[in-house]
Amino acid sequence: MIELEVTREHAGWRLDRFLAQALPQFSRARLQEWIRIGAVTWQGKKPRPRETIRAGDVVRLVEPPLEAIADEAEAIPLHILFEDDDLLVVDKPAGLVVHPGAGNQTHTLVNALLHHCTHLSGIGGKERPGIVHRLDKQTSGAMVVAKNDATHKELSRQFADREITKIYLTLVTGDFRRRHGTIDASIGRHPQHRKKMAVNLERGRTARTDYRVLETHGGVSLVECTLHSGRTHQIRVHLHHLGHPVLGDSLYGRNRQMSAPRQMLHSWKLGFTHPRTTERKLFEAEIPEDFRVAFPKSSIHESGEDGLSACRIG
């Protein structure tokens, strides 16, 4: 059992928001589900996720037993960048959904992982075994997957504490006035469009993205983005806010946006501290062919100020 006492700092917060910050190893959605099924008590009673908490309140969580994995294994090829007994890092192709959900019950990364691995962490529930974080369907690149619960919890903590290195490449419309900078703008749900996020300085959650324009050709810019937070659609929302939507982005792009084979966003480099060995690791997912097709004139080859490995297109 986990017992938490509400401090003055969190007085007036929603219960689910408080738990999400206090227990970063669990997703907010999972905590909300546990509240609904009675695994959480607040002041000795069963609460709702939206309860307003006060200083001195006591919240208890009895973590439910892990649900059996119900998804089916499928022999879908995986591009594995690294694997050991605790985790694996995969290069997810664009077009592959990460886990089963509405409209995508099969042919997902989870189905492929179940075919490849004997064991996966169960913290994410029966539909998300091993999934510590996710990429959008049309986003390609590096993802880390946990094989056991201890690894999952430690990686989740590193994500929550912003200790993960997350560097993306993206193709966007337009030429930038500033070749590098930081976008420090909170992100929240869009007030009119349920499926969209937006910069919301008053009610959003803090979000920071560093960007560096690597090259521009024909009204398209190749941009390196470093994430210092992990908000939903963060890069897409922040670059749209600057007036440079991601090429091929049907949700945030302009109506007359230049055509592209998909949403041109790639999780290029992913770094973390290995939960068991404590060794710092950095993995790089090769730049996909569709980037080369969409941006054929580039001949970039830079190591960058951070000393990371080179990037070349073309």
- Point out the residues that are catalytic: 136
In contact, 246 and 235? CB cutoff 8 Å: yes
Distance CA 245, CA 249 (A): 7
Cross-sheet strand order for the sheet of 2-5: 2-5, 58-61, 40-42
| The residue count for the chain | 314
Give the SS3 label for residue 189: strand
Nearest-5° Cα angle at 227, 211 to 196: 95
Nearest-5° Cα angle at 20, 25 to 90: 40
Distance CA 192, CA 127 (A): 30
28-36 vs 15-22: helix crossing angle, rounded to 10: 130
Residue type, 84: D
75: Cβ–Cβ under 8 A, 6 or more apart, which residues?
112, 115
- Which runs of consecutive H residues, i.e. helices, occur in 23-61? 28-36
Distance CA 41, CA 57 (A): 11
